[in-house]
Amino acid sequence: MIRYGLLGFGHHCVKRLIPAFLGARGSVLAGMWRRDLGKAAANASDFSTRYFATAEELCASAEIDAVFVTSPDALHLPHVLMALKHGKPVLCEKPLGMNAAEVEKMLAAAKAAGQRLGVAQNMRYNRSLEVMREWIGEGRIGRPALVHAQFCYAAEGSPRQWIYDPAVACGGPIGDVGIHCIDALRFVLESRVAAVTTLARADAQSAPVEAYAAIGLDFSGGAMGAVTVSTRGAYRSLIEVTGETGAIVCQFGLTVDFDVDVELWRAGKIAERKTVSNADGYSKMLDAFSDWVEGRREYRATGEDGLHNQQVLDAAYRSWRTGERQTVASA
């Protein structure tokens, strides 16, 4: 059993991570820290855990086996380095850093400490994506050619208002949910991204970060496609892959809130449909990281792999600023 300490405790922890720990078999919440100690005390009482007065106290505690960094993006680097300094393996929320240079510092520190560093890409443990990856691997649609992932939600009234602050957030929806879409496509295709072209717009509420965007992706495996994201639409998540002989489509394929259908299309008809649940994706992620720490199996979203995703994000934002196609050095 791996005892986790959470660095940062906000809306995401309450909505997603507390239920995930309750559903995990080898991972348990042993403590938490947040900057507002009054709220920390209330949270600890509500969820029957311990709160620490400082982030350093949590990282140094003998009661904590691994640190899960869930703080805002700009705090990921100092929190990851702090946990590693105290000899703790680290699972960190996405995006891993504010830029690739930060991730490289994390990886160097993890290597020096001899500790595991993973990214909380929970969707790699979604059954919908596992089915799509399996079907593609079995050759059911031939060679993948075109792909698309979309994630939209309405940010107005969101408790995470820091996502509009470029000093705190890696970016707008590209960095917030676009990273999930990019990673999901990479996972089902088993591919890296070679080049990126971005169209994006800010609005009066989001500026200077983007409010919606379309990101063109050229995959090293030969497929090409797009990620489309918005904080100005009704909730929707979609993932689809078109191959030479068929297509796989999953409406709401990235959701964990209700069952979804993975559909295999051939000749304009549904050849197969599988209904799956992603409700245990977060729990599966936690237990997979715990197993990795204890040497029982590999984890699907390592820090090294997270570096590539961060380089794709960097390229996406460079493309938006320059209006030019950007290559990804580590493709």
DSSP code per residue over 217-275: EEETTS-EEEEEEESEEEEEEEEEEEESS-EEEEETTT-SSS-EEEEEEETTEEEEEEE
pLDDT digits (tens, 9 = 90+) for 34-68: 999 999 999 999 999 999 999 999 999 999 999 99
Burial letters for 236-261: b for 16+ Cβ neighbours within 10 Å, e otherwise? ebbbbbbbeebbbbbbbbbbbeeebe
In order of start, what are the domains of the chain with their CATH numbers? 2-120 (3.40.50.720), 123-278+310-327 (3.30.360.10)
Query: 213, 215, 211: which is closest to 203 by C-alpha?
Result: 211
* Mean pLDDT in order along the chain per 10 residues (331 residues): 95 93 97 94 93 97 98 97 98 97 98 98 98 98 98 82 85 96 98 98 94 97 97 95 98 96 97 98 98 97 98 98 94 67
Q: Say if residue 72 is preceded by a cis peptide, omega within 30 of 0.
A: no
The CA-CA-CA angle for residues 264, 270, 275, to 5°, reads 60
DSSP code per residue over 57-82: HHHH-TT-SEEEE-S-GGGHHHHHHH
* Relative orientation angle of helices 179-189 and 127-137, to the nearest 10 degrees: 40
